[in-house]
Amino acid sequence: MKTVGIIGGSGFIGSYITKKFLEEGYNVKVSVTDIKKSEKYKHLFNLENSDNLNISALKVEDLEVLKDFISDCEIVIHGGTPFQLDVKDPQTELFDPTIKGTENFLTAASETPLIEKVVIIASVAAYNTNFPMPAGTKKNTDFFDENDLKFTSAESHPYAQAKFIANQTVEKFIKENPNLSFEITSVSPVGVMGKALSTREDSTSTGLQFLFKNKIAPNPFVQMLYDINVNFAIVDVQDVAEGIFKAATTSGLHGKNYLLSSQSYPVSDLSLMLNHESPKNNPFIVYKNGLAQKELGMQFRPVQETLNNYSK
């Protein structure tokens, strides 16, 4: 029985990753930032095969603790970067844990002989920091895939900038270390939505769905999404977990970064579907998912199914 370490394995996406690996018969180690806050991870012990689950405290900025956490793992998933839209101190809240955490993670992995596969949970922001707005001079309905020129802007949200730089860090590490004993594969989900496995109320992803459902705008960023009625690319949280599992258990994917995306709809249609009403527009693809379908064998759920699941 192999052991997988999932950094951030109790969050919105992480919980589904934990669930998938437990179902597939792995020993699963999950890191949390504060072991005392059991309300953030207790739901994991309700999962199938939870006897094979171990929870431990970890902050990715602490290199020695990180090394100890992954020391007995054959597979490691790094999803421990913060996702938040309301930010007071971008350096402390986003840039340091995201970028320094990624640097530490890569250092720790390179010093761990058991590791066979590393999966980095990146973001569509690794390709376009303006998401959900178009990249650079692209139009609202222009396609985007892994071969497109990556776009970043200093005016983009700090979260997106941090994820972009972290992805650059991974690419640089791969280039500078051509003889690694393990593979590194990244996945870059678009807007991740669906039903949470926990009852936590501090998830940005589930919170955004709540805002869209009730047409609430707590800050200028969300208000802008309504005002522009931007085409928003969505992917189901269960599909993201499936894509990560396949990336982790398929060999020959070193250095790849896969966009994980289903359909795109205007935000006004997302609000309708979250209220179990029919969208007024037909879905279309902005962020192409062909590479993930071809090389990971992915099939993506329709957005309407994803948003209906959230509202059950």
Domain ranges of the chain: 3-192+235-261+286-293
Q: What is the pLDDT of residue 304?
A: 96
Q: How far is 49 from 52, CA to CA, in rounded Å?
A: 6
User: Do 14 and 22 contact (CB within 8 A), yes or no?
Assistant: no
* pLDDT at residue 201 greater than cutoff 70: no
Model confidence at 82, pLDDT cuts 50, 70, 90, reads low
Q: What's the average model confidence in pLDDT over 94-118?
A: 89
What tens digit of pLDDT does each residue of 10-30 get?
Answer: 999 999 999 999 999 999 999
CATH class of the domain at 3-192+235-261+286-293? alpha beta
Closest CA to 298 of 241, 242, 238: 242
Q: Pick 278 or 156 by higher pLDDT.
A: 278
Distance CA 46, CA 30 (A): 14
pLDDT band per the 50, 70, 90 thresholds, residue 206: confident
Look at residue 93 in the predicted model and tell me its pLDDT: 63
In the predicted model, what is the mean pLDDT of residues 253-263?
Answer: 97
Residue 98: partners with Cβ closer than 8 Å, 6 or more residues away: 81, 82, 162, 163, 165, 166
Question: Which pLDDT does position 236 carry in this prediction?
Answer: 97
pTM over 0.85: yes
Share of the chain above pLDDT 90, in %: 76
Q: What is the pLDDT of residue 202?
A: 61
